[in-house]
A = this chain, B = another copy of it.
Amino acid sequence: MIVLKLGGSVITDKERPMTADRIAIRRLAEEVALSGVRELIIVHGGGSFGHPLAERFKIAEGFKEEPQLLGFSKTHRAMMELNRLIVNALLGQGIPALSLPPSSFIITHDGRIKALNLEVLRSSLERGFVPVLYGDAVLDAVRGFTILSGDQLSARLALELGASRLIFGVDVDGVYTSNPKLDLEARLLEVLRLEEMEDVARVGGATSTDVTGGMLGKIREALPVVEAGIPVVILNAGRPHNIFKALRGERVIGTVLCR
């Protein structure tokens, strides 16, 4: 079973609120269908759907005032909207995609998933469905509510369900030695070993590997997955055929995180 995380920046137009990249979504659904992989969980990010609302209502910080309730509901609704487009694209390709909103079965503890009830997820996989989850506004035992990232969720699912691989589809080619958007000398790392990951996760990338933002989060979430012996691949899902190839286990330009 493979866990495929599709980054929000791949499936939405990050510059325009609530704007999906329908062409990319359709292409990705086609690539999933053509790959023939059916033991699959898809997790997608929020991009321009979830993030602007989550920020406006400060959902990640937890409950502080009444108006946030409506903000929470609207953030979740935005994510359901984006999820609907993904599920529709998959159904259009004949894939029995099943939407599983994290908020309806996960309560985090200070932002982290603790106990995880996987009964429905496991049962749906057993029956041949492809569950589709996403980064979501979720209830939190400490903060009242918060944001659960698709990265945390996909890593946790890969770990708990013993996935054969975790694929992070993002909008860059992988992990670089420095920020490729600022540094012409930036070099793509084909492999990142556990010790290097630990180093990056600890210091936040102030060493030889200048990893920031979303990539740092991914490496941190991937740590226990790699420790458990499950390979994690970070690759560019914006490039046609990459997801198709990665699902089939073929070589793709990107970074492999492994022990």
Residue of B with least CB distance to A99: B80
Binary per-residue interface labels of chain A (142-166) against chain B in the complex, 1 for a CB within 8 Å, 0 otherwise: 0011000000000000000000000
How many copies, total? 2
Interface size range on A against B: 35 or more
Taking CB atoms, residues of chain B closer than 8 Å to A145 are 127
Q: Is the CB of A70 within 8 A of B88?
A: no
* 7 new A-B contacts at CB < 8 Å, known A69-B129, A70-B96, A123-B141: A69-B127, A80-B84, A103-B120, A105-B117, A106-B120, A124-B139, A127-B139
Mark contacts of A172-183 with chain B using CB atoms, 8 A cut-off: 1 yes-contact digit, 0 otherwise.
000000000000
Which of B100, B107, B128 contacts A66 (CB under 8 A)? B128
Verify A127–B104 contact, CB threshold 8 A: no
Binding site for B on A (CB under 8 A): 63, 66, 69-70, 72-74, 76-77, 80, 84, 87-88, 91, 94, 96-101, 103-107, 117, 119-120, 123-124, 127-129, 139, 141, 144-145
A142 to chain B, nearest CB (A): 12
Q: How far is the CB of A214 from chain B (nearest CB, A)?
A: 27
Chain B residues, Cβ within 8 Å of A84: 77, 80, 84
A105 to B74, CA, bound (A): 21
User: How many angstroms from the CA of A124 to the CA of B138 in the assembled complex?
Assistant: 10
A139 CB, min distance to chain B CBs, angstroms: 5
Per the bound structure, the CA–CA distance linking A216 and B256 in Å amounts to: 60
Do residues A76 and B91 form an inter-chain contact, with CB atoms below 8 A?
Answer: no
In angstroms, Cα B75 to Cα A99, docked, is 12
> Shortest distance in angstroms between A157's beta carbon and chain B's nearest beta carbon?
14
A117→B156 CA distance, assembly (Å): 21
Task: Evaluate contact between B127 and A107: CB separation under 8 angstroms.
Answer: no
Cα(A105)–Cα(B101), bound, Å: 10
Given known pairs A77-B87, A77-B88, A107-B120, the reply for A70 and B99 (CB within 8 Å) is: no
